[in-house]
Amino acid sequence: MSSIMRYNVIARSPENFRDDEAIAIMWNKDCHAPMKIGARNDKNSYFQTTLLFSILSTVVCLLMSSYAIAADVSLHGFIQGNYSADAAKSNPDGGDFKWAEERVQLKLDASKEPFRLFLKTDAFYDHIDEKARLELREGYIDYIEKKWDLRAGRQIITWGLGDLIFINDVFPKDYEAFFSGRPMEYMKKGIDGAKIGLYPAFASFEFIAIPIFEPNNYTNAKRFYMFDPMPNVTNREEKDPPSNLENTEFALRAYRDIAGFDASVYLYRGFYRKPYMIPDDINNTTKITYHYPKLSVYGASLQGRALDGVLSFEAGYYDSRQDRAGTDYTAPNSQTKFLIGYQRQLWEDFTIGLQCYNEYMHNYSEYVKNQPSGLPKDRKLYQLATVRLTQLLMHQTLKLSFFSFYSTSDGDYMLNPEIKYNFSDHVWAAAGGNVFGGGEKWSQFGQLDKNDNVYLQVRYEF
């Protein structure tokens, strides 16, 4: 999760919301109070999804009428059950499940040169909230030429090299899905925007424009225990960046092979996807407003074969455009983030992956000087190590895996063992657990100490 989950995933700053609001587990320079994410977007997300689905449906009808039938059409999907139960302690609302749902997904892929249409839609029933929902996971149209292509609509974008550590992957994530034991594909959220690919001889380029801001999704306060530095302040609101030309997010990636290594450079101009708090009065807070500070990211990555394995380097400079001096406690300081990763097969069907991640805060003395008393302070240098072990057995139908985060600076950790078995080409099941602990009650994983859970995933694919 680069920035991983404290990574920018988890954030170093503890945050919580009211009963029905989502919480953020992200670190960074602020130990700010909870943020409001979950409930906030329900209405807007529903409207955006409905609007996008209507537009795509109209385009589908036009394409079908124009071409009569596409040259290549496929329809696939799955039926899935996903359940996550508390391992030691009930949820804050008294329930015993972090997640409990049945889900059906349909994927439509239709193409006739130079166009391609892709739709991925989920219908599911949530037993905890006792609600049925429809979700457009992806829905886009491609126009493909030899030297360039265009993709418009809802799409999932993945950049960078980190294994669950996100530095240059600045696109929205769903951390509640990750901590609840959902399939890994649900950790990524789609963006509503356009992507242009250019492929001249000397390099390849991706340019992305995102007119509608989408934040990260964090754990729900009903299901997860989280640290909240201001638990008695219940009057909280969130302000998203307005959707206009000035606030449109832009991202650029350029990549090519250099001496057998895959090299990329990245540029991003937009906003932090984690909300930061603005109290009405820091000495007598009665209301908290959450906002998304302006952000630019400049990064690079390099990956290739070395030392009998695969070696990866990735770095990024996070330019906090609203607090370059580091004096505003309501916005994060600028940071430099970098990781080194190494993956190797030690014997047949057994692979080990190691990562070392560092995050350096600029203008740290100003941060310490201006951070309000009583709020936890982040470190100048945050360090995190990860280990991934994978063993395939029984003709690769049985997969045993283990993934762990351990912060060498904060002393907290997360452990994720999992076993997965493919009963056939169409049916598989996975069972695992998420164990948190160590550190302080406000550290990235330490604040999740009461949220250990075991999960089960069963899927039939067609």
Helix (H) or strand (E) holding 60: helix 42-67
Q: Where are the beta strands (DSSP E) in 348-426?
A: 350-361, 381-393, 398-406, 412-422
3-state SS class at 36:
coil
Closest among 39, 44, 120 to 75, alpha carbons compared? 120
Report how far residue 215's alpha carbon sits from residue 28's, in angstroms, rounded to the nearest whole number. Answer: 16
Q: Output the CA torsion sign for 91, 93, 95, 99.
A: negative
Number of domains within the chain = 1
Token pair of 101, please?
Answer: 């749902």
pLDDT for 62: 53
Domain assignment present for residue 314? The answer is yes
Q: How confident is the model over 253-292, as pLDDT tens digits?
A: 999 999 999 999 999 999 999 999 999 999 899 999 999 9
Q: What is the DSSP letter of 202?
A: T
Report how far residue 404's alpha carbon sits from residue 388's, in angstroms, rounded to the nearest whole number. Answer: 7
Domain assignment present for residue 315? The answer is yes
Q: How far is CA 333 from the centre of its chain?
A: 21
Q: How confident is the model over 393-433, as pLDDT tens digits?
A: 999 999 999 999 999 999 999 999 999 999 999 999 999 99
Mean pLDDT by 10 residues, the chain (462 residues): 40 34 34 38 50 55 52 95 96 97 98 97 98 98 98 99 98 98 98 98 98 96 93 94 97 98 99 96 93 98 98 99 96 98 98 99 98 93 99 99 99 99 99 98 96 99 98
**Cα distances (Å, whole numbers) of residue 43 to 25, 217, 220:** 23, 15, 17
- Asked whether 104 and 123 are in contact (CB, 8 A), the reply is yes
Domain assignment present for residue 459? The answer is no
Domain assignment present for residue 269? The answer is yes
Domain assignment present for residue 133? The answer is yes
- pTM equals 0.88
pLDDT for 53: 55
Closest among 459, 348, 434, 349 to 400, alpha carbons compared? 349
pLDDT for 37: 37
Domain assignment present for residue 125? The answer is yes
3-state SS class at 40:
helix
CATH number at residue 248: 2.40.160
3-state SS class at 15:
coil
- Residue 123 makes CB contacts below 8 A (sequence gap 6+) with 103, 104, 105, 132, 133, 134, 135
Report how far residue 154's alpha carbon sits from residue 52's, in angstroms, rounded to the nearest whole number. Answer: 8
Report how far residue 69's alpha carbon sits from residue 306's, in angstroms, rounded to the nearest whole number. Answer: 49
Side chain identity, residue 110: A
- Asked whether 303 and 312 are in contact (CB, 8 A), the reply is yes
pLDDT for 374: 85
**Cα distances (Å, whole numbers) of residue 399 to 390, 396, 419:** 7, 7, 6
- Asked whether 70 and 446 are in contact (CB, 8 A), the reply is no
pLDDT for 7: 35
Domain assignment present for residue 108? The answer is yes
- Decide: residue 200, CB within 10 A, 0-12 exposed, 13-18 middle, 19+ buried: exposed
Question: Phi first, then psi: what are they for 359, rounded to 5°?
Answer: -135, 115
Closest among 50, 44, 209, 222 to 135, alpha carbons compared? 50
pLDDT for 432: 99
- Decide: residue 424, CB within 10 A, 0-12 exposed, 13-18 middle, 19+ buried: exposed
Closest among 410, 433, 436, 432 to 420, alpha carbons compared? 432
Look up the domain containing 61 and give its range.
39-72+101-343+358-380
Q: What is the dihedral of CA 195, 198, 199, 205, to 10 degrees?
A: -70
Domain assignment present for residue 410? The answer is no
- Asked whether 167 and 337 are in contact (CB, 8 A), the reply is yes
